[in-house]
Every structure is written in structure tokens, then in C-alpha cells.
């Protein structure tokens, strides 16, 4: 009993069972020792299997870790290369961005210069337009002044239209004019039965063989009063030379004649309507309408006047009349 108690105490304390301990006790103690030895052997065998399994697991883990390591190294290398490539691309992109920014700044500078230049050009254009308008006004004023001076220089002249174009006529125009005056208004003749004529000639000076109508004759009188008397008589009746009709009118500047000619269509229509039209100097139209005399310097003024009068509205449409005549 004492040996068994000692062995149990030894197992409880975890002490190793020895031969001496095993044989030193009783039979029961020996059996217990044998059981203890068998259990220890099983435990040792199991521990050996566990150890082998752990070693195998450890080797497998080591192999997997090496594989993962290689894979990670490759991934890290690839990521490093990609990062380097991205850094290069980013650097190139930054360079392009810097270049684009410089180009943008250059373009903005050029645009600003162009805008300033355009503004300067617009201001210069406005100034030039003002200068041109002033010049046009001056030219118009000077043209009117020259035309007026030219008309004043012709105030003693008369224009004879329709005088036959013959050599015997052209060689003695002054004598023929005296005959015309004697035939149509003899009371205008001065003492001696003649009118003082400063000069007389055909215009233009060169005959155009393609024209069938005779050239006009320009006569300059020494007396303005005599010229006016002849002109007033020519307005009252038709003049003739040896039975052939001729016309005697003012001798005016080309610009004034053009402005007077512009009234022709309106003048004929006004005469048809009984408005007693007249063309006064230099190119003013007068009509007698509703007991009053109306004067117009421009065709536009007359058209505006006619549109406001029901009796005249639509009767002086120049374009329509020209179309009908065509």
C-alpha cells in the first residue's frame, strides 16, 4: 500500500516511472506501472505523428510563402514599373500642360493685341467715315457752287434746238438768229433792227455722224434783258425758222440739265392732269393745285406730297410709268 501511494503520488506530481519504482512496489503497483508505460508509449507515438504533420505543414507553408513571395515580388516589380511609367506620363503630361498654358497665354496675348488693334481700327474707321462724310458734304457744296457759278456765267445765253445741220446754216449762225428773232418776235429788236450777239456756235464742236438730230446752237447776248425778252416770247408760243419748228430754252450747266430732265415723267403727268407744271431755276418743279402754287426741289418731296392727296395718290408712280412706257 505504501508503494502504491508512492506511485500515485509520483504520477500526480508527473514524475517519470523508473524500473526501480516499478519493481520496488507490489503487484498492483506493477500493473499500474505497466499501464502507465503503455499510455506513455501511445502518447509518444501520437506526439511523433503530430510532430511529422507539423513538419509537413511547416514545409508546405514555407513553400507557399516562397511562392507568394515570388508572386508579390513580381507584382511589386510590375507595380513599380507601372508607377515609373505613370510618373513619366505624368511628367510628360505636365510638360504638355505647361506648353499648352504657354500657348494659351501667347494666344490670349495675341487676341488682346488683335482686340486692341481692332478697336483702334474701328476708331480710325469712324474717324475716316466722319472725314469722308465731311468731304462728301464739301464736294456736294462745291459742286453746287460750281454749278451755280457755271449757270450764272451762262445767264446771257440761249440754247436753240432743232436748227437744221447744214453748211450754209453753220457758216452764218449770227445772221440766222437775227432772222429767227425778226420772224418770231420783231418787237424785241433794238434800234437798227438788230440784236447785239457776243458769240454763237454749235455744241458739241465736233459733229457725231451716228446722230441724226442736229446739234444745239448756243448764243451769248450782250444784254441779259434782251435775252430774257426772247425767252419769255419763246415760252408763250412756238418759234419757227422758215416754217420749221425750233425750240429756244435756257442754256444751263450739265448738272442742272440732268436734274431738270429727272422731272420729265412727273412733268408730263402733271400737265395731263391740268396742274400747270413749270420748271423754275435751277431745277424746281411748281404746280397749281387747289388754288395754291406748290414748289418742290426734290422728286421725293413731290411723291410724299402726292401720296397724302387722294386726288394725286397713285398717279405719279415713276417706276410703274416707266414700266408701262417700256
Query: Based on the domain organization, do 233 and 200 belong to the same domain?
Result: yes
Alpha helices in 154-164 (DSSP H): none
Q: Is 300 contained in some domain?
A: yes
Query: Could you report the per-residue pLDDT of 2-38, keeping only the tens digit for each?
Result: 444 444 444 444 444 444 444 444 555 555 556 665 6
Helices and strands (H and E) in the chain: how many: 10, 8
Rounded to an integer, what distance in angstroms lies between the CA atom of residue 265 and that of residue 268?
A: 5
Of 102, 133, 154, which marks where a domain is finished?
A: 154
Domain count within the chain:
3
Residue 207 lies in a domain: yes
Q: Is residue 87 part of a domain?
A: yes
Whether the per-residue pLDDT at 166 is higher than 80: the answer is: yes
Q: Is residue 48 part of a domain?
A: no
For residue 202 the three cell numbers come to 454749235
Q: Is residue 217 part of a domain?
A: yes
Q: What is the DSSP string of 49-86?
A: HHHHHHHHHHHHHHHHHHHHHHHHHHHHHHHHHHHHHH
Residues 60-115 have pLDDT tens digits of 888 888 888 888 888 888 888 888 888 888 888 888 888 888 888 888 998 989 88
Does 321 map to a domain?
no
Residue where a domain terminates, one of 231, 251, 271: 251
Same domain as 138, residue 124:
yes
Among 219, 271, 225, 285, CA closest to 250: 219
Mean per-residue pLDDT, 277-298: 91
Mean pLDDT across the chain, nearest whole number? 82
Strand partners, 219: 158, 200
Domain containing 236: what range?
A: 155-251
- The reply to whether 181 and 241 lie within a common domain is yes
Confirm whether 213 is domain-assigned.
Answer: yes
Q: Is residue 46 part of a domain?
A: no
The structure's pTM equals 0.55
270 and 247 share a domain? no
Confidence of residue 120 (pLDDT cuts 50, 70, 90): very high
| Cα 246 to Cα 52: distance, rounded to the nearest angstrom | 152
Which of the listed residues 139, 154, 169 is the one where a domain comes to its end?
154
pLDDT at residue number 43: 59
Q: For 195-209, how does the pLDDT look when each residue is reduced to its tens digit (9 = 90+)?
A: 889 999 998 888 888
Q: What is the CATH number of the domain that holds 160?
A: 3.30.70.1820
221 plus 266 within the same structural domain: no
Amino acid at each position: 500500500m505504501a508503494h502504491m501511494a508512492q506511485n500515485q503520488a509520483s504520477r500526480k506530481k508527473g514524475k517519470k516511472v523508473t524500473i526501480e519504482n516499478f519493481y520496488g512496489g507490489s503487484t498492483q503497483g506493477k500493473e499500474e506501472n505497466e499501464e502507465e508505460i503503455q499510455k506513455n508509449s501511445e502518447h509518444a507515438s501520437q506526439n511523433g505523428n503530430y510532430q511529422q504533420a507539423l513538419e509537413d505543414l511547416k514545409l508546405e507553408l514555407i513553400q507557399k510563402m516562397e511562392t507568394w513571395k515570388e508572386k508579390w515580388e513580381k507584382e511589386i516589380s510590375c507595380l513599380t514599373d507601372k508607377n515609373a511609367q505613370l510618373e513619366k506620363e505624368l511628367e510628360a503630361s505636365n510638360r504638355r500642360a505647361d506648353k499648352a498654358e504657354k500657348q494659351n497665354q501667347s494666344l490670349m496675348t495675341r487676341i488682346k493685341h488683335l482686340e486692341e488693334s481692332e478697336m483702334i481700327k474701328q476708331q480710325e474707321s469712324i474717324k475716316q467715315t466722319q472725314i469722308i462724310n465731311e468731304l462728301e458734304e464739301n464736294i456736294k457744296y462745291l459742286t453746287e457752287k460750281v454749278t451755280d457759278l457755271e449757270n450764272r456765267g451762262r445767264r446771257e445765253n440761249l440754247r436753240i434746238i432743232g436748227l437744221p445741220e447744214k453748211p450754209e446754216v453753220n457758216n452764218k449762225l449770227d445772221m440766222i438768229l437775227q432772222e429767227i428773232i425778226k420772224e418770231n418776235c420783231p418787237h424785241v429788236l433794238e434800234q437798227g433792227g438788230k440784236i447785239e450777239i457776243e458769240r454763237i456756235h454749235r455744241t458739241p464742236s465736233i459733229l457725231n455722224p451716228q446722230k441724226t438730230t442736229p446739234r444745239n446752237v448756243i448764243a451769248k447776248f450782250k444784254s441779259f434783258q434782251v435775252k430774257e425778252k426772247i425767252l419769255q416770247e419763246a415760252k408763250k408760243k412756238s418759234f419757227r425758222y422758215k416754217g420749221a419748228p425750233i425750240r429756244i430754252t435756257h442754256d444751263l450747266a450739265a448738272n442742272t440739265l440732268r436734274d431738270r430732265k429727272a422731272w420729265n415723267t412727273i412733268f408730263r403727268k402733271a400737265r395731263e392732269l391740268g396742274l400747270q407744271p413749270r420748271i423754275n431755276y435751277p431745277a424746281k418743279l411748281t404746280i397749281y393745285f387747289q388754288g395754291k402754287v406748290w414748289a418742290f426741289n426734290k422728286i421725293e418731296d413731290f411723291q410724299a406730297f402726292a401720296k397724302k392727296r387722294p386726288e394725286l395718290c397713285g398717279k405719279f408712280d415713276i417706276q410703274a410709268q416707266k414700266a408701262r412706257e417700256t
